[in-house]
């Protein structure tokens, strides 16, 4: 890193120049605001050079210049001003307070428009907003900052990308990721250094995104990276941020003594009292010294070993127990260091603009065995070759390395169930000195997993683009753009021999993605008196190539050789090759009269090789119009309103998220027939398969008030996706289970709101705010006909007591997405009479803690019986039996309201930024807590502190004081399954308010720095993900839409960062 910085500084020194003229003279003056008050700290510099000064506390300044130069005056919170020196020796300047600029340019597809003339729904996030967050990915910095977009992290592994949903997405089962274009190159944001970003525009409605057609149904994210400036001396920027990171939240567990006291009492009341005395049980007093569990009886004459604690046996008073108290949370998660370094140089002449940068990010990872690092480099160059011809080129390279858990479900969710009484390391035997494992191979502790497993992923991305612009005549321009993006990823895994697996399995995976794009288009802009119009038309060719290779082996002779060739048993050899070509035609027409009446028409027609002839082409039009009411004579009497524009848009976009060959049908190549390899159809072809199409209506307005110090943008949207790509169930006689079809329709609707205000602006102090809010709902309108009620896919079918049929759950017409179901508690059984009369529960084992046996009912079996302390569930269908037919609606995983609120306060050279975001209106099924409460694995698990809230009838506690039913040990396998089924017991409101970013910065800029050729130095202290205010226990409330406890259930905890930053501008 030092070498890179050295080279860039050296390059900057070679490019650096200072204009000197024999005609230079001293220019003096005073800078004031509109009220005449002097402005201190105003930067006064000669345009195109590095010469500058700063105004004093009385607003005065002095600078040397020649008559041909231009002096620029800039200050935070004020509009910059430029003055030509000419023959002036005294230049006094008044700076106006900066307000929101309606002439600000917004990037749209294949061009730009001013905020005043935009007629569609576009949100913009500046690079400065992004850099207020101490994050690895720019996507993280968008959380809560874009109205209409929900950005959340269900996976917090270092280097993992958050999910982006714009206006809810567009599909039920397809891809809902937006189209992301970085300087025109389609890619994700994982390799982009946030320091390189100039701005990000989010195209939310169909009118703005229709020009991207086939993959724009989920919205479009346009990322513009930084460029140099014309007539600007070389400027070198160095930034360094170092952060301490830790987990923001984790499940909390009982200490060993409290857990031992509770579990030993429950064990002797349960069906396996021997677990309290036999060897190799977490809460047994009979463990041998060779056991991985530390709890045992202190022998007569024995001293308490180092690292052990002691207590009186709660079930055998007078007997001393010794044990260890090991926190697997503390052993598995640590304080880590996060670092980010960046060096950039930019500048330009009359004909050239350039920028080059190098960045390095290192995330040490709070979980043992996990980390991430990224090296990024970027170069942008604009060259005006002649008066008519301009070349624009860009290059970026990123290289990323990640170490991760192959399954967070196994390593974190299951692994952290390991009891606190278990030793950290074996102290004798074959594995002495090595980490002890979790209960079984699918529940290793993070410490054990990190010791025996290597999971390394290496990824490199290269993007290259070149643009030629030729100005044919005034207003007419032709553009040709070529881009190439290549993603190369390798993954290597190796497991050293251990107590569960001695075969030393290894694997290597290679993935190569390549995207090529060629686009040519022409645009014409013309103004005739008060009429302005533009026309754009173009052609696009894109090719995607995908290659996948995986090989695996096992039975290597040594842990020292992790390569595939060391394993004589080859367990996998797979290759996949796919290719797709897309061709498109696109166009746009805009018109305005007096910048008051606005119109835009767009279209795109795309053809995809994923579909067969006759279905390959999709046409996606869009139209939008606007009326700037504030420009009408009848409106101008409202002095408080500076700008009011109403907008309406309507259009269609597409989605072709299907497999490369789904329309043609797939074949299985691993089938054997009569001892010979054969190829057989595995999916039914559907030559009628075609695009999903989303039709969206958007109604909005833009309002500026009080000299544009208050800016409001609001939109209502209604988006309907038709020809939904869904799976239709087929009869067995077809030979196939299902077929992909275009039979489905879903609606997403709601509103989004953004309010920007400049609350206070004075000479020394300013305060600005930004509020964004989004409300999104959805409903399924149509599904493939399958003969079920509402054509329901999945879910439950229940016969009620009166013989009628009730269907619910899954996905159905007329119902929203994201619902989940489970048992509903009626009450906790508190008396023997209630227990005797309890409904038959098909899952209950019928254990009675008081009688210490399985209750036998009239049927002669204990199954289905309940005891004091159990839940009585509600009987949905009234048949007197509790089973899978008694599932109630518990909640919806999709928030109805999301938003963010940020405030920036500046005082002289200090700046404080505070930002919060939230999501409300949804529920979370806390499967992590549910599993902890079940106490699986023959009672050999840790106990969450929530267990204290379980009802304990023996203590005299009233049932109304309890949060949970009675806890009795292994609820799932041995007892009455109070905690095992999905139920409202572990359903909580998913609402959260996150204190996402707090940043305090100070800009140092004075004459001493000027002499050292330093423009300014910025010191920053910031925090990210500081705290979630939520009722969700033990896990991140940003769980996404998943409520399934499975291998895809991410439980890597959210990360809090406290960082110190330094930025030096030369």
Q: Report whether pLDDT(4) > 60.
A: no
Taking residues 788-800, what's their average pLDDT?
Answer: 89
Q: Which domains does the chain have, with CATH numbers?
A: 2-94 (2.60.40.1120), 828-879+922-978 (no CATH)
Q: Report whether pLDDT(193) > 50.
A: yes
Rounded Cα distance between 942 and 926, Å, is: 17
Q: Which helix (H) or strand (E) holds 470?
A: strand 453-473
Tell me what pLDDT residue 736 has.
Answer: 86
**pLDDT interval class at 115 (50, 70, 90):** confident
* DSSP reduced 3-state for 210: helix
Cβ contact 73:79 at 8 Å: no
For residue 490, the cross-strand partners are 458, 510
**pLDDT interval class at 620 (50, 70, 90):** very high
Cβ contact 555:569 at 8 Å: yes
Q: Report whether pLDDT(209) > 80.
A: yes
Cβ contact 120:212 at 8 Å: no
Within 10 angstroms of residue 299's Cβ, the number of other Cβ atoms is 10
Taking residues 11-29, what's their average pLDDT?
Answer: 56
**β-bridge pairing 745-761 and 805-808:** unpaired
Cβ contact 947:930 at 8 Å: no
**pLDDT interval class at 927 (50, 70, 90):** confident
**pLDDT interval class at 13 (50, 70, 90):** very low
pLDDT: which is higher, 952 or 355: 355
Tell me what pLDDT residue 609 has.
Answer: 93
Q: Which residues contact 264 (CB under 8 A, 6 or more apart)?
A: 276, 283, 285, 313, 314, 315
For residue 905, the cross-strand partners are 767, 912
Residue 483, CA atoms < 13 Å, CB-side half-sphere: 26
Q: Which helix (H) or strand (E) holds 337?
A: strand 336-348
Q: Report whether pLDDT(15) > 90.
A: no
Cβ contact 948:963 at 8 Å: no
Cα 64 to Cα 51, 379, 905: the distances in Å are: 9, 34, 34
SS3 percent helix, strand, coil of the chain, rounded to 5, is 10, 45, 40
Rounded Cα distance between 435 and 1053, Å, is: 22
**pLDDT interval class at 50 (50, 70, 90):** low
Tell me what pLDDT residue 763 has.
Answer: 78
Q: Left if phi > 0, otherwise alpha if psi is -120 to 50, otherwise beta: which for 760?
A: beta
For residue 772, the cross-strand partners are 754, 900
Q: Report whether pLDDT(1054) > 50.
A: yes
**pLDDT interval class at 238 (50, 70, 90):** very high
Please choose, from the candidates 34, 16, 26, 104, the residue with its C-alpha nearest in 3D space to the C-alpha of residue 71: 26
Handedness of CA 301, 307, 311, 313 (dihedral sign): negative
**β-bridge pairing 179-182 and 220-225:** parallel
* DSSP reduced 3-state for 735: coil
Q: Which helix (H) or strand (E) holds 853?
A: strand 853-854
Tell me what pLDDT residue 830 has.
Answer: 92
Residue 969 tokens read as 């040990």
Rounded Cα distance between 701 and 710, Å, is: 14
> CA angle, 165 as apex, 164 and 170 as ends, to 5°?
140
Q: What is the pLDDT of residues 684-731, one digit of tens each?
A: 889 989 988 999 999 999 999 998 899 999 999 999 999 988 888 888
pLDDT: which is higher, 772 or 848: 772
**pLDDT interval class at 7 (50, 70, 90):** very low
Q: Report whether pLDDT(859) > 70.
A: no
Q: Which helix (H) or strand (E) holds 933?
A: helix 927-934
Q: Report whether pLDDT(17) > 60.
A: no
To which residue do tokens 């999501």 refer? 919
Look over the chain and give the mean of its residue pLDDT values, rounded to a whole number: 90
Taking residues 742-747, what's their average pLDDT?
Answer: 92
Tell me what pLDDT residue 98 has.
Answer: 65
Q: Report whether pLDDT(494) > 60.
A: yes
Tell me what pLDDT residue 619 has.
Answer: 94
DSSP strands (E only) in 706-830: 710-722, 726-729, 738-741, 745-761, 765-782, 796-799, 805-808, 819-822, 825-828
Rounded Cα distance between 949 and 700, Å, is: 50
Rounded Cα distance between 444 and 451, Å, is: 10
Residue 60 tokens read as 């005065």
Q: Which residues of 209-247 are buried (b: 16+ CB within 10 A; e: fewer)?
A: bbbbbbbbbbbbbbbbbbbbbeebbbbbbbbbbbbebeb
Of all residues in the chain, what percent carry a pLDDT higher than 70? 95
Q: Which helix (H) or strand (E) holds 358?
A: strand 352-363
Q: Report whether pLDDT(3) > 50.
A: no
Query: Cα 111 to the chain's mean position, in Å?
Result: 28
Taking residues 459-480, what's their average pLDDT?
Answer: 96
Alpha helices in 643-726 (DSSP H): none
Residue 44 tokens read as 């006064």
**β-bridge pairing 910-920 and 1016-1030:** unpaired
> CA angle, 366 as apex, 364 and 368 as ends, to 5°?
90
Rounded Cα distance between 361 and 442, Å, is: 33
> CA angle, 550 as apex, 547 and 551 as ends, to 5°?
150
Residue 309 tokens read as 């604690």
Tell me what pLDDT residue 681 has.
Answer: 85
**β-bridge pairing 220-225 and 197-203:** antiparallel
Rounded Cα distance between 971 and 888, Å, is: 22
Rounded Cα distance between 1001 and 791, Å, is: 58
Q: What is the pLDDT of residues 1004-1035, one digit of tens each?
A: 987 778 777 888 899 999 999 999 999 999 98
**pLDDT interval class at 861 (50, 70, 90):** low
**β-bridge pairing 825-828 and 93-94:** unpaired
**β-bridge pairing 25-32 and 93-94:** parallel
Q: Report whether pLDDT(1046) > 60.
A: no
Alpha helices in 270-409 (DSSP H): 328-332, 408
Q: Report whether pLDDT(574) > 90.
A: yes
Q: Which residues contact 368 (CB under 8 A, 6 or more apart)?
A: 331, 332, 333, 334, 446, 447, 450
Residue 1020 tokens read as 């920053």
Please choose, from the candidates 41, 98, 33, 42, the residue with its C-alpha nearest in 3D space to the C-alpha of residue 71: 42
Q: Report whether pLDDT(295) > 90.
A: yes
Residue 790 DSSP label: G
Supply the DSSP string of 607-665, one letter for each residue.
EETTS-TTSSEEEEEEEEEEEEGGGSGGGTT-TTEEEEEEEEEEEEEEE--S-TTTTT-
Rounded Cα distance between 62 and 88, Å, is: 13
Tell me what pLDDT residue 786 has.
Answer: 87
Question: Residue 675: phi, psi to the nearest 5?
Answer: 80, 0
Residue 202 tokens read as 């989010």
Q: What is the pLDDT of residues 59-103, one digit of tens each?
A: 899 898 888 888 988 876 677 788 989 889 999 999 877 665 666
Rounded Cα distance between 217 and 705, Å, is: 33
């Amino acid at each position: 890193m030092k070498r890179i910085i050295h080279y860039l500084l050296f390059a900057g020194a070679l490019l650096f120049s200072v204009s000197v003229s024999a005609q230079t003279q001293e220019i003096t003056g005073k800078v004031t605001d509109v009220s005449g008050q002097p402005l201190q700290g105003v930067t006064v510099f000669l345009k195109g050079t590095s010469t500058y000064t700063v105004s004093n506390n009385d607003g005065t300044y002095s600078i040397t210049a020649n008559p041909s130069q231009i002096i620029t005056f800039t200050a935070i919170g004020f509009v910059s001003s430029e003055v030509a020196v000419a023959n002036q020796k005294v230049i006094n300047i008044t700076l106006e307070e900066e307000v929101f600029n309606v002439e600000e340019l917004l990037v749209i597809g294949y061009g730009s428009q001013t905020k005043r003339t935009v007629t569609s729904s576009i949100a913009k996030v500046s690079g400065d907003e992004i850099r207020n967050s101490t994050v690895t990915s720019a996507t993280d910095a968008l959380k809560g900052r874009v109205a209409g977009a929900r950005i959340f992290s269900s996976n917090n592994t270092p280097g993992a990308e958050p999910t982006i949903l714009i206006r809810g997405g567009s599909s039920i089962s397809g891809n809902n990721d937006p189209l992301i274009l970085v300087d025109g190159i389609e890619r994700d944001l994982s390799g982009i250094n946030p320091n390189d970003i100039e701005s990000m525009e989010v195209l939310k409605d169909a009118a703005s995104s229709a020009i991207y057609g086939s993959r724009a149904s989920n919205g479009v994210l346009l990322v513009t990276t930084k460029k140099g400036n014309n007539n600007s001396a070389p400027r070198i920027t160095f930034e360094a941020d170092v952060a301490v990171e830790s987990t923001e939240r984790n499940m909390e567990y009982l200490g060993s003594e409290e857990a031992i006291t509770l579990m030993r009492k429950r064990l002797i009341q349960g069906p396996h009292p021997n677990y309290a005395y036999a060897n190799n049980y977490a809460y047994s007093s009979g463990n041998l010294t060779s056991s991985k569990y530390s709890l045992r009886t202190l022998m007569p004459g024995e001293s308490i070993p180092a690292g052990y604690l002691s207590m009186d046996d709660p079930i055998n008073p007078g007997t001393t127990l010794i044990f260890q108290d090991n926190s697997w949370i503390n052993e598995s998660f640590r304080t880590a260091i996060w670092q980010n370094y960046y060096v950039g140089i930019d500048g330009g002449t009359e004909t050239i603009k350039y920028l080059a940068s190098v960045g390095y990010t290192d995330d040490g990872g709070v979980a043992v065995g996990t980390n991430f690092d990224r090296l990024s480099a970027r170069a942008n160059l604009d060259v005006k070759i002649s008066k008519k011809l301009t070349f624009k080129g860009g290059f970026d390279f990123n290289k990323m390395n990640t170490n991760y858990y192959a399954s967070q479900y196994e390593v974190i969710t299951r692994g952290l169930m390991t009891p606190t009484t278990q030793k950290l390391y074996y102290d004798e035997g074959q594995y002495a000195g090595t980490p002890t494992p979790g209960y079984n191979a699918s529940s290793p502790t993070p410490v054990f997993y990190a010791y025996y497993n290597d999971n390394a992923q290496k990824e490199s991305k290269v993007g290259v683009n070149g643009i030629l612009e030729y100005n044919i005549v005034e207003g007419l321009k032709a553009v040709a753009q070529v881009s190439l993006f290549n993603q190369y990823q390798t993954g290597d895994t190796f497991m050293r021999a251990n107590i569960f697996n001695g075969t030393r399995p290894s694997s290597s995976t290679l993935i190569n993605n390549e995207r090529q794009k060629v686009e040519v288009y022409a645009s014409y802009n013309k103004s005739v008196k008060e009429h302005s119009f533009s026309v754009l038309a173009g052609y696009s060719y894109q090719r995607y190539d995908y290659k996948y290779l995986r090989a695996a082996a096992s039975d290597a002779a040594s842990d020292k050789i992790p390569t595939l060739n060391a394993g004589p048993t080859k367990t996998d050899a797979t290759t996949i090759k796919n290719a797709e070509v897309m061709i498109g035609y696109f166009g746009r027409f805009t018109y305005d009269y007096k910048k008051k009446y606005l119109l835009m028409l767009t279209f795109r027609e795309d053809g995809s090789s994923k579909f067969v002839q006759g279905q390959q082409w999709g046409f996606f039009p869009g139209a939008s119009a606007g009326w700037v009411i504030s420009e009408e004579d009848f409106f101008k009497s409202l002095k408080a309103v500076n700008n009011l524009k109403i907008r309406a848009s309507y259009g269609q976009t597409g989605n072709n998220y299907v497999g490369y060959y789904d329309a043609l049908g797939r074949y299985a190549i691993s089938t054997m027939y009569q001892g010979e390899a054969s190829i057989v159809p595995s999916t039914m072809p559907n030559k009628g398969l075609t695009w999903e199409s989303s039709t969206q209506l958007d109604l909005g307005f833009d309002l500026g008030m009080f000299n544009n110090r208050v800016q409001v943008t609001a939109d209502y949207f209604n988006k309907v996706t038709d020809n939904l790509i869904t799976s239709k169930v087929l009869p067995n006689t077809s030979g196939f289970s299902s077929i992909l079809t275009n039979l489905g329709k879903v609606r997403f609707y709601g509103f989004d709101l953004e309010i920007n205000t400049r609350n206070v602006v004075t000479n020394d102090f300013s305060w600005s705010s930004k509020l964004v809010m989004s409300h999104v709902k959805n409903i399924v309108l149509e599904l493939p006909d399958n003969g079920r009620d509402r054509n329901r896919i999945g879910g439950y079918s229940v016969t009620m007591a009166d013989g009628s049929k009730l269907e619910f759950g899954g996905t159905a017409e007329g119902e929203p997405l994201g619902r989940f179901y489970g048992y509903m508690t009626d009450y906790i059984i508190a008396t023997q009479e209630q227990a005797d009369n309890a409904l038959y529960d098909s899952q209950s084992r019928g254990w009675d803690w008081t009688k210490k046996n399985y209750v036998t009912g009239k049927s002669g079996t204990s199954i289905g019986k309940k005891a004091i302390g159990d839940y009585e569930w509600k009987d949905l269908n009234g048949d007197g039996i509790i089973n899978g037919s008694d599932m109630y609606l518990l909640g919806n995983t999709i928030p109805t309201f999301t938003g963010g609120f940020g405030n920036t306060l500046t005082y002289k050279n200090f700046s404080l930024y505070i930002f919060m975001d939230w999501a409300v209106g949804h529920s979370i099924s806390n499967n992590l807590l549910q599993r902890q409460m079940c106490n699986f694995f023959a009672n050999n698990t840790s106990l969450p502190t929530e267990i204290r809230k379980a009802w304990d009838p023996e203590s005299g506690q009233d049932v109304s004081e309890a949060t949970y039913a009675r806890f009795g040990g292994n609820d799932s396998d041995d007892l009455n399954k109070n905690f095992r089924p999905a139920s409202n017991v572990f359903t909580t409101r998913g609402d959260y308010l996150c204190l996402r970013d707090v940043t305090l910065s100070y800009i140092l800029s004075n004459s001493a720095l000027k002499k050292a050729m330093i423009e300014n130095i910025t010191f920053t202290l910031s925090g990210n993900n500081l705290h979630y205010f939520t009722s969700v226990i033990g896990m991140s409330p940003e769980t996404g839409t998943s409520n399934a406890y499975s291998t895809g259930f991410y439980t890597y905890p959210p990360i809090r960062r406290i960082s110190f930053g330094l930025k030096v501008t030369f």
